[in-house]
Amino acid sequence: MMTIDAVKCIQCKACIEVCPNYVFACHAGGAAEVEIAHPEQCCLCGHCVAVCPEGAIRHGGMPPEEFREVPHPRVSGADMRDILLSRRSIRAFQEKPVPRELLEQLIETATHAGTASNAQTEDFIVIQNRHLLSELEELVIEILWKAGLKYLGSRLGRTLVELKYGRRMVRQYVAYHHIMANRKRQGQLRGMIFRNAPVVVISHGLKTNFLAHTNCAIATRNMEIMAPTLGLGTCWVGFLTSAAHISRRIGKCLGVPPDRKIYGAIMAGYPKHRYGKRIPRRRREVCWL
């Protein structure tokens, strides 16, 4: 149940303005007191409690002690820009395990990413078991190879794929065909997917949620941005999410329930190298309307 403490409430109407679902109202042209008009519309986002300057709002679904004070922002715009522009995908790791408390901090930041309708239905799998990681790696390679990469060695195969996905994508897929074929020949498939990272963090969501892939992506992005502040490096494992998209075998291998799907995955560990230079980017077309 939600309540507004009428003594504490100063009628600032911040709750009305920030609520995504129009739970609060103030009728009579704004002269009346703020009231909880539609509690049934609440999505448990907690904004009303967090924004109220007087602590007048309580929400039965969220214990008050879990609302922590927000410190004033300590990261300057320039610092944030530096962090974002120098972020790198890390693929070479020290042979050093990552303490669980750091992984828990990553998960915490992922948990604080927004989710569509505040559904918060995405969950995580943290894999540190080397045996499981190599098993998974083999499975990913097998699925991607059989699903199409193996055909890209022939002209006919390339033409067919080009018809379906266009020339730009085919260039990328053909490169993967060659990488896999070469490494297969050299007996070096091991480490190709997870780069011998000590940890892989996977996020999965409900298949029925149209925006689960977006939720998982931004949760994963939070971890990616947080990681370097803990001395860690990460890299997305799109190979894994692609394989999971193609075949249920990946989800089964990890115990993901059949109504859920893997939408995000990163490898993580202590980076072996430091990037001393920022990398230039393609100048994007931006349409200002």
Ligand X SMILES: Cc1cc2nc3c(=O)[nH]c(=O)nc-3n(C[C@H](O)[C@H](O)[C@H](O)COP(=O)(O)O)c2cc1C
Cβ-Cβ contacts under 8 Å for 249 (sequence gap 6 or more): 139, 143
Given the complex with ligand X, which of 19 and 205 has the nearer CB atom?
205
Binds ligand X by CB under 6 A, chosen from 235, 243, 256, 262: 235
Residue with tokens 């539609």: 38
Site for ligand X in 146-185 (CB under 6 A): none
Given the complex with ligand X, which of 84 and 287 has the nearer CB atom?
84
Q: What is the distance between the terminal CA atoms of the chain, rounded to a whole angstrom?
A: 44
- 126 touches 204 (CB < 8 A): no
Binds ligand X by CB under 6 A, chosen from 236, 246, 249, 254: 236
At 100, list the tokens: 């669980």
Q: Does 238 bind ligand X (CB under 6 A)?
A: yes
Size of the residue set binding ligand X (CB under 6 A): 8
Q: Does 114 bind ligand X (CB under 6 A)?
A: no
| 3-class secondary-structure state, position 271 | strand
Contact window for ligand X (CB under 6 A) among 20-28, 61-69, 77-85, 230-238: 230-238
How many CA atoms lie within 13 Å of 132's alpha carbon, on the beta-carbon side?
15
CB of 46 to ligand X, least distance (A): 30
Binds ligand X by CB under 6 A, chosen from 93, 173, 239, 270: 239
- 6 touches 33 (CB < 8 A): yes
Given the complex with ligand X, which of 46 and 191 has the nearer CB atom?
191
Cβ-Cβ contacts under 8 Å for 151 (sequence gap 6 or more): 157, 160, 161
Site for ligand X in 189-218 (CB under 6 A): none
| 3-class secondary-structure state, position 72 | coil
Phi-psi region at 195: left, alpha or beta (left = phi > 0; alpha = psi -120 to 50): left
Binds ligand X by CB under 6 A, chosen from 88, 150, 184, 245: 88
Binds ligand X by CB under 6 A, chosen from 14, 52, 59, 91: 91
Q: Does 263 bind ligand X (CB under 6 A)?
A: no
Binding site for ligand X (CB under 6 A): 88-89, 91, 235-239
